[in-house]
Amino acid sequence: MIDSLVTIDRLSVSRGGKRILENVSAHIQRGKVTALIGLNGCGKSTLLRAIVREYEYTGNIQFNCGHDHSRHRQELVGYVPQKLLSDGRIPLTVRELFAVCLQKRPLFFGVQKQTIDKAMVLLNRVGARQLLDRPVAALSGGEMQRVLLSLALDPQPELLLLDEPAAGIDFVDMKPFYQLIKKINEERKISVLLVSHDIPTVSEFADHVLCMKKGKIVREGPPSEVLHSDELSKIFAPDGSQIDCGDPLHTGCVHF
């Protein structure tokens, strides 16, 4: 029996006249890490953007969060995109980025002390307080992900959406990063939906897996079932080769 924080029911999304998601039904488990896997272009980012209401959709995304919805309290969802901007040229320091995100007044009035204090608390949570005065454009992929993660955790969300959080992170830093996500999940009781292309990491860190193919969820369940299923093999190893579900630190990462 799935304890579902979010129940997605017959969700369809079209973009630019093209149907991207078709009748997607799935669960995001309460208090757990759910991984969304699938080939490039199958619709994973589109699903995340529908959940944050960035894209229009038909069907239903039901938050089973225990709120009194008549009081119009929005569900709290933190979202970390794949990239901040495609060209990466943001002429700001991390301190100024926090000001843009947290302050109500324009940046030309300066960064308020309370913003800096808050930025330090938020960066500290993700082990990144040393980044405060660094230019955003000079951050590595992993540093950028930590900054975006710290912003997504304020205010504390019920659901954290991470779109390929390890995409810019090298082999050595990847495991600590996923351990940080697991820690946030367990200690703060934040449910997580993360997009990943790394089967060993999904095997190690996810409690629940959604497998997407061409805009549809073709399999959902625990990693032990989904990662060894025929559906997964047909998508990721159609030539009959073995899918490596081992420890990413020992067997190397399988990217698809």
Ligand X SMILES: Nc1ncnc2c1ncn2[C@@H]1O[C@H](COP(=O)(O)OP(=O)(O)OP(=O)(O)O)[C@@H](O)[C@H]1O
Can you give the binding site for ligand X, defined by CB under 6 A? Answer: 15-16, 18, 20, 38, 40-46
Residue 6 beta carbon to ligand X: minimum distance, rounded to whole angstroms: 18
**Residue 213, token pair as written in the block:** 């193919």
**Residue of minimal Cβ distance to ligand X:** 16
Cα-based angle 24, 198, 39 (whole degrees, multiple of 5): 45
Shortest separation between residue 112's beta carbon and ligand X, angstroms = 36
**Distance of alpha carbon 30 from alpha carbon 42, whole angstroms:** 25
Can you tell me whether residue 161 is helix, strand or coil? Answer: strand
Q: Is 215 left (phi over 0), alpha (psi -120 to 50) or beta?
A: left
Take residue 109 and report the two structure tokens written for it: 């009035």
SS (H, E, C) 3-45: CEEEEEEEEEEEECCEEEEEEEEEEEECCCEEEEECCCCCCHH
- Residue closer to ligand X, measured from CB, 16 or 91: 16
- Name the minimum Å distance from CB 177 to ligand X: 18
Residue number, 94 or 148, with CB nearest to ligand X: 148
The DSSP result for 220-237, as a single string, is: EE-HHHHTTSHHHHHHH-
**Closer residue to ligand X (CB): 41 or 88:** 41
Which C-beta is closer to ligand X: that of 20 or that of 131? 20
CB-wise, 43 or 78, nearer to ligand X? 43
In the complex, the smallest distance separating the C-beta of residue 158 from ligand X, rounded to whole angstroms, is 23
CB 137 within 8 A of CB 88: yes
Q: Is the Cβ of residue 97 or residue 209 nearer to ligand X in the bound state? A: 209
Least Å from the CB of residue 49 to ligand X: 8
- With respect to ligand X, which residue has the nearer C-beta, 182 or 216? 216
CA 133, 138, 141: angle at the middle one, nearest 5? 110
Report the alpha-carbon distance of residue 217 to residue 15 in Å, rounded: 18
CB of 45 to ligand X, least distance (A): 3
Q: Measured from the CB of residue 35, what is the shortest distance to ligand X in angstroms?
A: 13
d(CA 120, CA 125): 9
